[in-house]
Amino acid sequence: MNKDDDVNHASAASNRALSRRNFLKVSVTGAAIASAGGLSACMSRPMAAGKTTKALALYQGKPNRGERCAGCTHFEKPNGCEIVVGAISPNGWCRFHEPLPA
């Protein structure tokens, strides 16, 4: 084995290390982007203007731990909501519930 073979071998190892580093950078960036998308889905308020479906709001026609639509800042009398599409029950509940100020 001569000196040139050692240089070529070291160069190939260096390329593998750079390739691994680039792979990790891309992987971490992709995971960060995916996490940001997941977090936006978990926000307590919808990000886009308009209304969401009852299914996406996890709406139910009964209170949840004492929280109910009639006690929410988004409730519109007699049976509407700023966020959820369609008629809702004043005794219902969804994941966007925000209590009225005391």
Enter the pTM of the model. Answer: 0.52
Q: 57: which DSSP letter? A: H
Radius of gyration of the chain (CA): 27
- Mean pLDDT, range 6-15, rounded to an integer: 56
**Is 83's pLDDT higher than 50?**
yes
For tokens 């073979």, name the residue. 5
pLDDT-derived band at 44, boundaries 50, 70, 90 = low
pLDDT-derived band at 46, boundaries 50, 70, 90 = very low
Protein fold of 46-102: High-Potential Iron-Sulfur Protein; Chain A (4.10.490)
Average pLDDT taken over every residue of the chain: 80
